[in-house]
Each structure stands twice: as C-alpha cells, then as structure tokens.
Chain A
C-alpha cells in the first residue's frame, strides 16, 4: 500500500515534469546545449520512472491474479491499465501453450511443496469454496480447515486464508 501512495504522489510530479520537458528553447549555443542535456535527463528520468511503475504493475499480476483490487486500479493511468491487460493476455497465451491441453498456470506452485494438505485459518468471510472431490467448505472468518495445499495457494496470497504452522 505504501508503494501505491508513492506511486500516486510521483504521478502528480510526473505531470509537472512533462510540461517542463516540453519547454526549453533558447538562442545561445551554450544554453542550448545545457537545455538539451536537461531535456535528455528529464526524458531519462521520466522513462525510468514509468518503466519502474510498469514493473510494479507486472508484479501485481503475479501477486494478486488477473483481477486487480479496485484500490490499485484507481491509482493506475489509462495507459497502464491497457498495458496490464495486454500483459496478462500475453501471459495467458503463453501459459496455455505450455503443458498439455489446459496449459500450466505458472502463478501457482510458487514455493516447493512440503505436504499435500495444510492447516489454514480464514481471515475474512469468503463464502463457499469447493474442493476437488466435490465437497464444499464454508470459509467464515476465524474458521480453521485442513485443505489441499494447491487449492489454497491463491487465497493465501490474496490474504483470505492464512497458513497455520503448528
């Protein structure tokens, strides 16, 4: 969340930088050269800043999944949203092409598996959750369950479940 605050503040500075980058004309040769260096530096800083934001947004896809929480969405520019959508489409195409008929979801299995089932505690009300053999589990806040690890991974990352290490 702190990163998002920073992103928002820097975005405002970004706008000021763009207008500065637009200006910069003069007649004297030294001044011209100096201004040109300033402009180049501004360009470099801007591009670096924007690229860094892209990298953070990319990380969001791997952390949160393909639907971003609305709070984060709010802090993104229209172009960034477009980049994100294209990125996740590109990633999905790639993941589908690997691994047999359904593809391989590379955003799962981030950590080496230690056991098949894990003890999890529910941190927020989530509702019903279906596991492989057809049974459903009601995920209510503070309830504890013993569930298959691979089903829980995504929810753990989203903060809905918490892995209980006894």
Chain B
C-alpha cells in the first residue's frame, strides 16, 4: 500500500482509497464555480503511485495480458490527475485577480486555495497580463486613464450557480437563503445518500469539509 509522506496528518491510504480521493477532488473541482482548496498531499501521492506503477510495468513480461490492463489503469489515473490540475489552472486564469486577492487576505491557519507552484503561476500570469495591457494600450492613452483595476474588471466566480450534490455525511439545519422577495429563508436537513440541486453558496463549506460530493 502507498502511504502519504510528511505533513501533519499521517494518513495511510490504500491505492484504491487514494484514487477515490483524487476522483472526489476532481469532480468537486469540476463542478464548483470557484477555485477549491489545493490538495497537495493527494497530488504528491498520486504521482508517486503512478511512478510505482510505471516501474512495475517496465519490469513485467512483455505480452502479458496484465500489462495492458495496468497500462490502461495508468493512463486513466493520469487523465484524471491532468484533468484536475487543468481545471484548476483554467479557474486560476479566469479569476486571477480574485484568486490572488483571496490568497493575500487569507488568515493564518486557514487552508490555502493555491499550491506554492500555482501561486507563482498566478502571479506571473497577472504580471504578464498587466505588462501587456500597459504596453499594448494603456501607455498610449491620456494620462488620467492609464490604469485599469483588474480586480474590478475581471468577473468574479458566480457563487450563486446551482450544483448537483450527493450527501456523504448527514447534515442538519442548513440555512437556505430566499431567491425571491416572496420567499423566506428556511432550513433543510440533508440525509446521507440523498441527492440535491442547490445553490453553491449555500453548501460551499460542506464541500470543503467533505460532507457532500458534487456530481
């Protein structure tokens, strides 16, 4: 069994559990409108796992049927990992001023939404884009118009968008805000195993805690 190295949580996951965590993180990231917490432990372990599997493959006998199956498995895991990281990059690029702002104003001890590498990437993207806009247009404009607030111009993620979810841990008394003036706010209970279509904003903390799974 592969184990996660370092970190304050010494979790020992079987490969199957590890892949399931990856898939859960992948689906959540895919369906959430905003960038979710970064999961460096999962990524690190999956990469390690892939390396193990590839090493095993190289040693195996050629033509063995198991080789194809394992190869396929490696391809599939690699796809999920790539898709997950790509999804995050797309969101980072799409919401870059807000992502950077959120990270800057993060409190001590609060989990980060960006890995150090993603943070570097986001900063470079912002600097690159700012420089470009300045050189391509802004510096040619009249002096009082040479600045543009990217934080104001780039749209924020829409936290009111609706998402499908499955409940993993029972939740009680979730406060749902009214959508129209006629409605009043009400509370609902989320039964384990049930599925719902709900506004992302309402259940965002539950996604972070792992109580629900976006589908």
Contacts and interface: CB of A to CB of B under 8 A. Distances in A.
B133 A116 contact: no
A87 B125 contact: yes
Contact of A43 (B48, B50, B86, B148): B148
Nearest to B136: A79
A150 interface: yes
Q: In the complex, which range does the number of interface residues on chain B fall in? A: 35 or more
B121 interface: yes
- For the residues of A in contact with B, the DSSP-based class is helix
A91 B50 CA distance: 22
A103 B65 CA distance: 29
Interface string B110-144: 00000001101100110011011101111011100
B139 to A, nearest CB: 10
Give 3 closest A-B pairs by Cβ, nearest first: A90-B124, A113-B75, A97-B117
20 contacts: A22-B140, A39-B145, A43-B148, A47-B133, A58-B93, A83-B128, A83-B129, A83-B131, A86-B124, A87-B125, A90-B125, A98-B43, A100-B47, A100-B48, A104-B82, A106-B85, A106-B89, A113-B72, A113-B79, A149-B75
Interface of B: 43, 47-48, 50-51, 68, 71-72, 75-76, 78-79, 81-83, 85-86, 89, 93, 117-118, 120-121, 124-125, 128-129, 131-133, 135-138, 140-142, 145, 148, 153
Interface of A: 18, 21-22, 24, 39-40, 43-44, 46-47, 50-51, 54, 58, 77, 79-80, 82-83, 86-87, 90-91, 93-94, 97-100, 104, 106, 108-113, 115-116, 149-150
